[in-house]
């Protein structure tokens, strides 16, 4: 710790949303020390240019100013100096998300990628950070939540924390404020639950009980014998807001944002859709503790946080995680079979709705995440497939295929455990490398004893739809799609724009597309009757499939008229129904879902 990189961070001006950061380098590069702030954060594959939030920065050594030259949008070079070098800078923090930093009078939150400049060439040494309370008695009740190891700070307190290197430092987000806090143990490991924001009658006991089941099920999946978790402590930190959703994984914690209405209420025993969704989000980010935080694609070992990290494997790391997040809800007993199959059907409907699935494979979607998935526009349903959603269906199809073709001797669980043993378990301790695309496919064949190249060609590198009915049948699940039931439709998705009805997406080949309507058009009238934000569906249902209607719409400030010939609603309406018979199929389903 003698030559540790030293940071101090303080909420300098919560009303102005400014963190103040001091960085001390005891032994700077004699030829001039270079500093850089990450351009993106692991888990969110888009260049975000966090350095744009640095408001001002200066350097000094031995009490004298040191010149800083900005080399590019996120890199600075200090002139040579003979002694310790100190940087002081301010970071504007007004991004209420899980990706960056946010500060006001109610709380403070930051990811290290947004606030801690990297000392180029000294990333491998210890890094110490002193987290300080705002300098005002108003904030005396604030506490700190983070999975960083305490140095001189007490648990949940302000003070100094330590990381073994820069990579560890930026992989532990920090929440500060007057949050709700509870702790449970999952297979002996303490897990903190931190809720920031006003949540009346929050049922923290129920939340902890449900999360405990989910966490223990996941730990047991990867380590069925030892039940050993890969971290000594874990922190779930959630920002509850009026309307929001998102999560970002870290090696021993996760940052989440949700609508306060999604959290459980004391005295309400039923599970709301919002709470089920929130538990699925928690399950997703927790599964990343293994899958992507320790089992990594080769492109992320190590991360290059100044440039894009291209990989075709996000369907495995995000898609498989999206499969297991809901699967773990039913395996842990938090939801039942019926609820699980509704979630799966919803995913299938979402994937089948967009024609982008026939143009882009999940391997291509993974590679293009930086410019397509994270930069979606009004045409995305017609051009892009989600490596999350379709990736989860790849995992589902592989799991069912492996179970059926091996006589139920093997499953996707066996593949995940092998991935964990070879590429994850000793990642931090032994410096294991990431897995390549070729190694993934070879590992599937080795573990299962099957030849799965045709599957990968069709559904991972290709764009074919899955034969769902055939896949589900051996497990006693009936697949049906009730689309085209005669209900007329425009073939578009609308959103509310004040009291106007705005076209958000126009589906390729549908009536709106054929008539010339475009995303962004504001619908004004159908056959002379006014369209509002809430009455379009009722207007359309008064017609029959094949009827032609006159639609008036504003495009920008120009009123236009379109003749639309209505077609039957082509939106997928998939349902999955588990059956008790035949008994062998029911037993296979119980083994898959681990239900009794």
**pLDDT above 50: residue 430:** no
pLDDT tens-place string over residues 194-229 = 999 999 999 999 999 999 999 999 999 999 999 999
Categorize the per-residue pLDDT at 429 as very low, low, confident or very high, splitting at 50, 70 and 90: very low
Strand partners for 5: 127
Last residue of a domain, one of 177, 210, 236: 177
Of the pLDDT bands very low, low, confident and very high (cuts 50, 70, 90), residue 425 is confident
- Res 1 pLDDT > 80: no
Q: Domain boundary residue among 282, 310, 345?
A: 282
The percentage of the chain sitting over the pLDDT mark of 70, rounded to a whole number, equals 98
CA-nearest of 275, 266, 252, 284 to 186 is 252
Q: What is the DSSP letter of 582?
A: S
Per the domain annotation, does 105 fall within a domain?
yes
> Could you read off the pLDDT of 152-204 as tens digits, one per residue?
999 999 999 999 999 999 999 999 999 999 999 999 999 999 999 999 999 99
Based on the fold, state whether residues 207 and 226 are members of the same structural domain.
Answer: yes
Q: Find out whether 552 and 584 touch, Cβ atoms under 8 Å.
A: no
Q: Is residue 555 part of a domain?
A: yes
pLDDT at 57: 98
Query: In terms of domains, do 302 and 273 share one?
Result: no
Res 570: pLDDT: 85
CATH of the domain at 249: 1.10.390.10
Q: How confident is the model at residue 369 (pLDDT cuts 50, 70, 90)?
A: very high
Residue 480 lies in a domain: no
Q: Which two tokens stand for residue 185?
A: 């143990």
Q: Average per-residue pLDDT in the chain?
A: 96
Beta strands in 397-516 (DSSP E): 477-481, 488-489, 492-497, 500-506
Provide the pairing of β-strand 234-241 with 159-163: unpaired
The answer to whether residues 564 and 581 belong to one domain is no
Residue 585 lies in a domain: yes
Residue 534 has pLDDT above 80, yes or no: yes
Q: What pLDDT, on the 0 to 100 scale, is given for residue 478?
A: 96
Asked if the structure places residue 481 within a domain, the reply is no
Residue 365 and residue 362: Cα distance in Å, rounded?
A: 5
Quick check: 421 pLDDT over 70?
yes
- Four-residue CA torsion sign, 438, 360, 381, 546: negative
Considering the domain boundaries, does residue 483 fall inside one?
no
Mean pLDDT along residues 403-427: 93
Query: Do 205 and 250 lie in a common domain?
Result: yes
Of 261, 282, 303, which closes a domain?
282
- The pLDDT assigned to 432 comes to 64
Q: Is residue 437 part of a domain?
A: yes
The helix/strand/coil state of 46 is: coil
Asked if pLDDT for residue 107 goes beyond 80, the answer is yes
pLDDT digit string, tens, across residues 270-300: 999 999 999 999 999 999 999 999 999 999 9
Candidate from 19-33, 349-363, 453-467, 568-582 with smallest mean pLDDT: 568-582
Same structural domain, 172 and 275: no
CA atoms within 13 A on the CB side of 146: 33
Q: Residue 262 pLDDT > 80, yes or no?
A: yes
Average pLDDT, stretch 412-426? 93
Same-domain check for residues 55 and 111? yes
State residue 427's pLDDT score.
54
360 and 433 share one domain: yes
At 76, phi and psi to the nearest 5? -125, 150
Considering its fold, how many domains does the chain have in total?
A: 4
Residue 377 has pLDDT above 80, yes or no: yes
Other Cβ atoms within 10 Å of 452 Cβ, number: 17
Q: 387, 461 in Cβ contact below 8 A?
A: no
Residue 426: pLDDT band with limits 50, 70, 90: low
Q: What is the CATH number of the domain that holds 522?
A: 2.30.42.10
Q: Does 295 lie in the same domain as 433?
A: yes
- Do 582 and 518 belong to one domain? no
Q: Is position 482 within any domain?
A: no
Is beta strand 18-25 parallel, antiparallel or unpaired with respect to 85-92?
antiparallel
Residue 123: CATH number of its domain: 2.60.40.3650
pLDDT of 569 strictly over 90: no
Please indicate, yes or no, whether residues 324 and 401 belong to a single structural domain of this protein: yes
- What average pLDDT does the segment 334-344 reach? 97
Q: How many Å apart are CA 161 and CA 105, to the nearest integer? A: 23
User: What percent of the chain stands above pLDDT 90?
Assistant: 94
> Which domain covers residue 38, as residue numbers?
5-177
**pLDDT at 428 exceeding the cut of 50:** no
Residues 301 and 192 in one domain: no
- Residue 400 neighbours by CB under 8 Å, 6+ apart: 471, 472, 474, 475, 592
* Span of 50-64, 202-216, 436-450, 571-585 with lowest mean pLDDT: 571-585
Model confidence, pTM: 0.96
Identify whether residues 23 and 118 lie together within a single domain. yes
Q: pLDDT tens across 116-157, in order? A: 999 999 999 999 999 999 999 999 999 999 999 999 999 999
**Element of type H or E holding 217:** helix 204-222
State the pLDDT at residue 363: 98
Average pLDDT of the segment spanning 509-537: 96
Question: Which residue has 């724009």 as its token pair?
Answer: 497
- pLDDT tens sequence across 480-508: 998 866 789 999 999 999 999 999 999 99
* Of 379, 376, 344, 365, nearest in space to 492 by CA: 379
């Amino acid at each position: 710790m003698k030559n540790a990189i030293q940071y101090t961070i303080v909420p300098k001006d919560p009303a102005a949303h400014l963190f103040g950061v001091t960085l001390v380098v005891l032994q700077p590069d004699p030829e001039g020390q270079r500093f850089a702030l990450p351009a993106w954060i692991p888990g969110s594959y888009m260049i975000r240019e966090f350095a744009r939030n640095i408001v001002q920065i200066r350097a000094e050594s031995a009490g004298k100013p040191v010149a800083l030259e900005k080399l590019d949008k996120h890199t600075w070079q200090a002139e040579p100096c003979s002694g310790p070098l100190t940087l002081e800078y301010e970071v504007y923090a007004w991004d209420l998300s899980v990706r960056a930093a946010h500060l006001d009078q109610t709380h403070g939150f930051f990811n290290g990628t947004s606030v801690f400049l990297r000392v180029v060439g000294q990333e491998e040494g210890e890094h110490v950070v002193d987290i300080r309370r705002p300098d005002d008695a108003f904030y005396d009740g604030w506490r700190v939540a983070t999975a960083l190891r305490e140095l001189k700070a007490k648990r949940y307190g302000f003070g100094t924390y330590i990381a073994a290197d820069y990579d560890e430092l930026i992989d532990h987000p920090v929440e500060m404020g007057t949050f709700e806090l509870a702790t449970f143990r999952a297979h002996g490991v303490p897990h903190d639950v931190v809720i920031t924001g006003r949540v009346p009658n929050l049922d923290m006991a129920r939340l902890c009980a449900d999360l405990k089941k989910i966490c223990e099920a996941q730990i047991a999946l990867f380590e069925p014998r030892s039940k050993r978790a890969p971290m000594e402590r874990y922190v779930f930190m959630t920002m509850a807001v009026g309307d929001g959703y998102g999560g970002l994984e870290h090696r021993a914690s996760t940052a989440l944002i949700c609508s306060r209405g999604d959290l459980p209420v004391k005295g309400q025993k039923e599970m709301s859709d919002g709470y089920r969704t929130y538990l699925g989000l928690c399950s997703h980010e927790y599964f990343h503790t293994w899958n992507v935080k320790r089992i990594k694609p080769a492109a992320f070992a190590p991360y290059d946080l100044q440039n894009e990290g291209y990989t075709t494997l996000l369907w495995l790391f995000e898609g498989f995680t999206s499969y297991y997040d809901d699967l773990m809800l039913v395996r842990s007993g938090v939801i039942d079979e019926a609820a699980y199959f509704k979630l799966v059907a919803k995913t299938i409907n979402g994937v089948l709705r967009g024609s982008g699935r026939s143009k882009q494979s999940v391997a291509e979607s993974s590679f293009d995440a930086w410019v397509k998935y994270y930069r979606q526009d009004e045409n995305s349903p017609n051009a892009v497939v989600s490596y999350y959603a379709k990736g989860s269906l790849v995992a589902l199809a592989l799991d069912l295929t492996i179970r059926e073709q091996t006589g139920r001797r093997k499953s996707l669980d066996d593949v995940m455990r092998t991935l964990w043993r070879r590429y994850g378990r000793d990642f931090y301790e032994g410096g294991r490398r990431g897995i390549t695309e070729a190694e993934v496919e070879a590992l599937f064949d080795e573990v299962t004893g099957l030849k799965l190249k045709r599957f990968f060609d069709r559904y991972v590198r290709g764009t074919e739809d899955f034969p769902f009915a055939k896949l589900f049948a051996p497990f006693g699940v009936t697949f049906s799609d009730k689309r085209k039931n005669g209900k007329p439709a425009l073939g578009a998705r609308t959103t509310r724009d004040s009291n106007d009805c705005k076209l958000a997406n126009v589906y390729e080949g549908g009536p709106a597309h054929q008539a010339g309507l475009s995303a962004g058009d504001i619908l004004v009238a159908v056959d002379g009757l006014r369209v509002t934000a809430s009455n379009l569906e009722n207007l359309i249902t008064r017609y029959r499939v094949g009827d032609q209607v006159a639609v008036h719409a504003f495009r920008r400030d120009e009123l236009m008229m379109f003749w639309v010939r209505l077609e039957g609603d082509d939106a997928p309406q998939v349902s999955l129904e588990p059956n008790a018979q035949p008994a062998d199929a029911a037993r296979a389903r119980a083994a898959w879902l681990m239900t009794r």
